[in-house]
A and B are shown apart, each in its own frame.
Chain A
Amino acid sequence: MSASLEKGVNVLKEMIDAPIASFFNSCVHCGICAEACLFYTETGDPKYTPIHKLKPLRKVYEQEYTLVGRAAKALGLSKPLTDAELDEWQELVYNSCTMCGRCSLVCPVGNDLAYMIRKLREGMAVAGHAPEGVIGATKRTVEIGSPMGVRLPAVQAQMRHVQEDVGIEIPLDQEGAEYMLLLSSMEIINFPEYLGAVARIMQQAGKSWTLCSTAFEATNSGIQIGVSDLAKVIVSRIVEGAERLNVKTVISPECGHAYMALRWEGPNLIGRPYNFDVKHILEVLEEFRVQGLLKTEGFETERVTFHDPCQIVRRGGVIEPQRNLLKMVAKDFVEMSDPGKYNWCCGGGGGVSANENAEQLRLTAFKRKKAQLDEVQVDTLVTACANCRIVMEEGLEHYQMNIPVVGLTETIAKHLAKPTGGTPQSD
């Protein structure tokens, strides 16, 4: 057994807890999880059945934690986990799973399969069986401090650009601000309009907010790859920044995994609760709406629908705010089939979009979203995750569907009631 494999197996042993043991013992091979997984439904290939993707973890569980399995291993009836097996499973664990958690919602015996995939990835990564693309992101997180290699000057350049665009100064490192805004790497690189939209909304709401020079980025590829040590580094940076600036609330950006990582895994990664709140931007906007601090005018005349990002909705618990917000600015809002927590993934979450080997499969899996969109016949697709947005734009482009994809925050900002005085606004 190679040293890295041994380390990987040891990590898997550490990962196995009572829920995982209970889950493996409950599975009756009914195959219903396959019916909930877009990688199976769109390819028809049984190897994409979620529970099958967990076979290496099951093997370690049985050989290490069950009497029968230990006996079988001692008698040589079951062989130890090999590098070849993990190599074979890499495609299943990383390319064909976005950790969207839809399977966890339908398993009749109650298995949380996404929870187990998350744990299996920890061992796979340590054993050296994570895909190249995500290993690169890991390396950049260590060396540069950012999975996509974003440095502060890039953020400052964007701040300057946004200031020009919307005519509002973007605060940086303001101690005692109520909100600390985080950006996803994707927003820094691809979507400057998000920062502009937040600036305008905050100005209207009269709230103090700031960016933080030591923690501007929320994207947590540590979670996607399955390396808790890295995920912890990223979360710790945000915690230190928020505590240094003494903010009340940290706002997680329009990104799925960033929110799940910071809001739900974060305290467990650093081993203590935060002394500030973490809210998704949609939750903050919803609070503003309820408090009457978010005033809009006019409506989108086009037919729109909303794509629920898995980690914000099913794995994050933010389900209603986006609907209330969208109805403020869209008269013809229509739900896709299986909305809310039952949504279908865009196909690119959990590191899949960063994984070049997964590209063809991802585009095939996108047929699910295509079918959902064909049913509702909308003019615009709104979402709240920069990664979903790009994945869907690529999918739509691939299938030659002409539907623009926009972020919810910028859609709201587009309809902000004009201020009665003050700086002129662009539109």
Chain B
Amino acid sequence: MNEMQFLTWVRGPGLDIALGIFVLGVIWRLLEIYTLGRKKDLSVPRHTSGASGWHTIVRRSWAPPGMFKRSPVSYVGGYVFHVGLAIVVFLFAPHIALIDSLIGLSWPGVPSQVIDAVAVVTMAAMVIVLVDRINNPVKRFLSGFEDYFTWTLTFLPLLTGYLAVKHLLLPYTTMLALHILSVELLLIVLPFSKLFHAFTTFGSRWYNGRMSGQRGVSV
């Protein structure tokens, strides 16, 4: 297989397989988790404004009082990396074009120079959170293979994408193919790893806010 065939494969059957596994995997995992259900709460609720699942979905995006200074790297690194990733994934013109071709939805992108800069900042943030994971005693203690593996799977698309756009290291075609392949790996692993928090975070926040909201505590 030459590089062109490789690219054709990752763009065609490869993408189909990855997307198929991703979509079915996400549906399966969501059902596996949320059909477990929960018991109805029979206590008489205390109504307090701002205390609900929906409030918590939004509110938990900010650091609670006093927490920022206890874990600044997690918060700054976390924000920069997540926001940066969202910008690069959803606002880069070629990505929008791909989404348009898949589901027929499109929106304006941002200039590629901006994407370049954001990608660099995002990768830097990822390296910083990785170093923090290794240095911080709690994070190091909690972390196992999956933590480093999923970090790598998230980092590779950023790196290969950047290198491809910048025509660095390998011929463009090969690098682009590698980029698409890395994304496909990410898509395949996402539903079955901690990366699935991209979906369940909202459910978790909702449950937490809902259960506390029953007691009249906004969290």
Contacts and interface: CB of A to CB of B under 8 A. Distances in A.
Interface of A: 16-23, 25-32, 34-36, 40, 44, 46-47, 49, 51-52, 65-68, 104-112, 115, 263-268, 271-274, 277, 313-317, 319, 337-338, 341-342
A271 B42 contact: yes
Contacts of B43: 263-268, 273
A27 B208 CA distance: 14
Contacts, number: 170
A17 B74 CA distance: 29
B143 to A, nearest CB: 6
Contact of A317 (B70, B143, B192, B215): B215
Interface of B: 28-29, 32-39, 41-44, 46, 48, 56-57, 60-61, 64-67, 70-71, 74, 78, 133, 136-143, 147, 192, 194, 196-197, 200-201, 203-209, 211-212, 214-217, 219
A30 to B, nearest CB: 5
Contact of A112 (B64, B74, B200, B207): B207
Contact of A104 (B78, B140, B219): B219
A249 to B, nearest CB: 12
B32 A46 contact: no
List the 8 closest A-B pairs by CB distance, nearest first: A110-B205, A317-B216, A46-B141, A31-B138, A267-B42, A110-B204, A19-B207, A35-B70
Given A17-B37, A104-B208, A264-B214, A273 B194 contact: no
Contacts of A51: 142
A87 to B, nearest CB: 20
7 contacts: A23-B207, A25-B196, A30-B139, A65-B36, A109-B200, A110-B206, A313-B217
B97 to A, nearest CB: 31
A181 B56 CA distance: 35
Contacts of A20: 36
B147 A66 contact: no
Given A18-B35, A67-B28, A264-B43, 8 more contacts: A21-B33, A26-B201, A28-B194, A106-B67, A110-B60, A111-B208, A317-B48, A342-B65
Contacts of A106: 64, 67
A15 B41 CA distance: 15
Given A22-B207, A110-B209, A29 B143 contact: yes
